[in-house]
């Protein structure tokens, strides 16, 4: 959940270039940040409990260094403070670390370091102490890191320096992602993601689990888990530019731009139908589907269940990985779908990796093709939406819905469900974005509330959960997503005349009248109703009722695609409420984009 970055060069490094790259990793954690670098053969460290922008002001442009490592943190052990901020030192060892040492407390009490004085609350400092211990025994930083790699548990990637050797860096990776790159100017790079390395990048290598790379005096060696030298099969970096990519408007947040990018990205995703069909042709129609995901991916999975059961007629179950605790003896005809925008979600990856044989028939849906999930499932589908930097998922959630919908059509043995007319879909989808001004106006009434319900039924129930999650994440309002008919079985006790309720009504002919009755039941108790419904539903409500509430009219479209239309207004509402409350929408408190700890 942290970001690590390093440059190793034969020439003096431009610190502004280094900071720019480190900022690209800030979505992974932003509780604090720090750098360590050699200047005149002496190690120097700069730390801050603010964001990287503060670090930038402290790092002078005229620093002369050819080796620098940096870190941006999401706290796991110890609060955000200077003592807990990376890099961590012990004697001659300097470490920046991304991941979590699950057995750090046990190792802290081990004979290796139990007599040492520990200054911070972090697991990373224990790492520095352990490496230092083995360094005194082996005299080799690489061998010491390899020994430590064998005794630590969890998912870990780290970079290590030796204060006595300004031309040495050692990198280690297990489960947590780490890239090595070579720029066209000859500089060596290490990074938690590929995007931070992209400027001037020539070749790159995604470290395998338990890989170790040593660069000493500009010579590169890669070792496997047995410390045997292995060949570095570097990939040629190809710049990937999204056709819809526009120059960023600094006045707007990244999250806002990512919401708006869906205008172009989502309609184009239907062009992936043939690619998905070809990639999944080895999957015979399963008797059962199990979908596994966390957070927004879990909410998308719930809609996936609706698609597979309604369109494909395949019984489908949805689990969070932490609750998937039973393994059936006969699962040959079950397809397991793992969903994670980053492909690095620890809970999901750990379940898969700890039961590889069981999940042989597996498919992952990710937005990062070199992620843990993609590498460990039988097949993977890449959303290919470009990196999502806003911590709250927006475009990738909607992308997951599209892919699950397309898969449900592919798995429909009756083949009587056809793809929507692309131009018709695009025309109506773009209408959603013209609703922003009305949503912005509603948000001015909504932002002062501390609690709300988001109610939905049928395909809108997963959307109500996701809408509530967005409101929690970037509006800091306690929002609860509920199945609308269940509201009267307890939660209605919370409603009074000033309790806001966001109500999503589907166009299901079997339930629409019941949903309208539920709406009236809610309105009789609360004066703060925000209704999202399409024109068919709006027409069933009288003008006097509509004048007493706020409503957003969703364009008419085929039923299965309506959830994709409903989520955009909720994303806009969350954003504008957060903005009115002066919240850091792109980097909300306590969150990080890539959840690499269980």
On average, the pLDDT of the chain sits at 91
The helix or strand, by DSSP H or E, that contains position 166, with its residue range, turns out to be: strand 165-174
Region 339-346 average pLDDT:
91
208: left (phi over 0), alpha (psi -120 to 50) or beta: beta
pLDDT band, residue 245 (cuts 50/70/90): very low
Q: What is the CATH number of domain 3-236?
A: 3.60.20.10
- Strand 32-39, strand 3-8: pairing: unpaired
Check residue 246 and give its pLDDT.
47
Look up 2 and say whether it is catalytic: yes
pLDDT band, residue 415 (cuts 50/70/90): low
Which residue is catalytic, options 173, 198, 389, 593? 593
Check residue 4 and give its pLDDT.
96
> pLDDT tens digit string along 122-150?
999 999 999 999 999 999 999 999 999 99
What residue spans define the domains of the chain? 3-236, 255-419, 434-598
The rounded distance, in Å, linking the Cα atoms of 283 and 269 is: 21
Q: Look at residues 198, 178, 188 and name the one whose alpha carbon lies nearest to residue 98.
A: 178
pLDDT at residue 185 greater than cutoff 70: yes
> pLDDT tens digit string along 322-340?
999 877 778 889 999 999 9
Same fold, 3-236 and 255-419: no
pLDDT at residue 522 greater than cutoff 50: yes
Check residue 376 and give its pLDDT.
92
The rounded distance, in Å, linking the Cα atoms of 522 and 36 is: 58
**Do residues 69 and 159 make contact, with C-beta atoms less than 8 angstroms apart?**
yes
> pLDDT tens digit string along 146-170?
999 999 999 999 999 999 999 999 9
Q: Which residue has the higher pLDDT, 344 or 173?
A: 173
Half-sphere exposure for 166 (CA within 13 Å, toward CB): 16
Region 470-496 average pLDDT:
94
Check residue 130 and give its pLDDT.
96
Q: Look at residues 529, 397, 524, 563 and name the one whose alpha carbon lies nearest to residue 452.
A: 529
**Do residues 533 and 553 make contact, with C-beta atoms less than 8 angstroms apart?**
yes
434-598: what fold? Rossmann fold (3.40.50)
Q: How far is CA 244 from CA 225, 260, 264, in A?
A: 42, 11, 6
Q: Look at residues 346, 470, 483 and name the one whose alpha carbon lies nearest to residue 396.
A: 470
> pLDDT tens digit string along 424-463?
999 999 999 999 999 999 999 999 999 999 999 999 999 9
Look up 440 and say whether it is catalytic: no
State the architecture of 255-419 in CATH terms: 3-Layer(aba) Sandwich (3.40)
Which residue is catalytic, options 2, 85, 222, 294? 2
Region 487-508 average pLDDT:
93
Q: Which of these ranges, 49-53, 125-129, 220-224, has the smallest mean pLDDT?
A: 49-53
CA 82 to chain CA centroid, Å, is 27
Check residue 260 and give its pLDDT.
97
Check residue 476 and give its pLDDT.
96
Beta bridge partners of 338: 292, 364
pLDDT at residue 413 greater than cutoff 90: no
Check residue 497 and give its pLDDT.
93
Check residue 242 and give its pLDDT.
41
Region 536-563 average pLDDT:
92
pLDDT at residue 484 greater than cutoff 70: yes
**Do residues 127 and 102 make contact, with C-beta atoms less than 8 angstroms apart?**
no
pLDDT at residue 191 greater than cutoff 90: yes
Q: Which of these ranges, 63-77, 248-262, 464-478, has the smallest mean pLDDT?
A: 248-262
> pLDDT tens digit string along 365-412?
999 888 889 989 999 999 999 989 899 999 999 999 999 999 999 998
């Amino acid at each position: 959940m942290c970001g690590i970055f390093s440059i190793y060069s034969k020439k003096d490094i431009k610190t502004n270039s280094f900071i720019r790259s480190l900022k690209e990793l800030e979505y992974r954690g932003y509780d604090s940040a720090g750098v360590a670098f050699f200047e005149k053969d002496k190690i120097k460290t700069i730390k801050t409990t603010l964001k990287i922008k503060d670090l930038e002001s402290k790092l002078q442009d005229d620093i002369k260094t050819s080796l620098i490592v940096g870190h941006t943190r999401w706290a796991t052990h110890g609060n955000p403070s200077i003592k807990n901020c990376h890099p961590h030192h012990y004697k001659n060892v300097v470490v920046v670390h991304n991941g979590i040492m699950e057995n750090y407390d046990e190792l802290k009490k081990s004979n290796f370091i139990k007599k040492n004085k520990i200054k911070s609350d972090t697991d990373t400092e224990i790492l520095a102490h352990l490496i230092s211990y083995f360094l005194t025994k082996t005299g080799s930083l690489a061998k010491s890191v390899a020994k430590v790699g064998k005794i630590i548990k969890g998912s870990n990637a780290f970079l290590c320096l030796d204060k006595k050797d300004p031309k040495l860096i050692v990198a280690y990776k297990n489960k947590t992602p780490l890239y090595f790159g070579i720029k066209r100017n000859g500089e060596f790079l290490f990074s938690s993601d590929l995007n931070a390395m992209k400027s001037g990048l020539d070749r790159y290598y995604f470290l395998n689990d338990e890989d170790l790379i040593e660069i000493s005096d500009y010579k590169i060696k890669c070792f496997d888990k047995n410390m045997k030298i292995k060949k570095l099969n570097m990939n040629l970096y190809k710049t990937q530019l999204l056709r819809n990519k526009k120059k960023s408007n600094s006045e707007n947040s990244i999250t806002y731009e990512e919401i708006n990018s869906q205008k172009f990205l989502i309609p184009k995703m239907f062009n992936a139908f043939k690619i998905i069909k070809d990639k999944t042709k080895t999957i015979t129609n399963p008797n059962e589907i199990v979908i596994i995901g966390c957070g927004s991916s879990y909410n998308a999975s719930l809609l996936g269940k609706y698609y597979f059961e309604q369109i494909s007629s395949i019984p489908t179950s949805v689990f969070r990985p932490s609750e998937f605790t039973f393994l059936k003896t006969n699962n040959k005809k079950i397809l397991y779908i793992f969903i994670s925008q980053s492909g690095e979600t620890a809970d999901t990856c750990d379940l898969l990796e700890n039961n590889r044989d069981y999940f042989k028939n597996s498919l992952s849906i990710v937005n990062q093709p070199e992620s843990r999930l993609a590498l460990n499932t039988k097949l993977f589908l890449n959303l290919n939406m470009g990196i999502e930097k806003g911590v709250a998922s927006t475009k990738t959630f909607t992308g997951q819905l599209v892919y699950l919908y397309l898969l449900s059509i592919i798995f429909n043995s009756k083949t009587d469900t056809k793809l929507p007319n692309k131009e018709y879909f695009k025309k109506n989808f773009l209408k959603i974005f013209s609703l922003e001004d009305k949503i912005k106006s509603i948000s001015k009434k909504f932002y002062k509330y501390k609690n709300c319900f988001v109610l939905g039924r049928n395909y809108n129930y997963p959307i109500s959960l996701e809408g509530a999650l967005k409101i929690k994440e970037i509006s800091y309002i306690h929002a609860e997503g509920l199945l609308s008919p269940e509201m009267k079985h307890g939660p209605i006790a919370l409603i009074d005349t000033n309790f806001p309720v966001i109500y999503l009504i589907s166009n299901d002919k079997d339930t629409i009248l019941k949903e309208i009755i539920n709406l009236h039941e809610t309105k009789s108790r609360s004066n703060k109703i925000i209704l999202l419904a399409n024109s068919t539903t709006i027409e069933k409500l009288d003008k006097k009722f509509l004048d007493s509430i706020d409503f957003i009219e969703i364009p008419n479209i085929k039923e299965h695609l309506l959830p994709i239309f409903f989520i955009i207004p909720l994303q806009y509402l969350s954003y504008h409420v957060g903005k009115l409350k002066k919240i850091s929408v792109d980097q909300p408190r306590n969150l990080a984009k890539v959840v690499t700890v269980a």
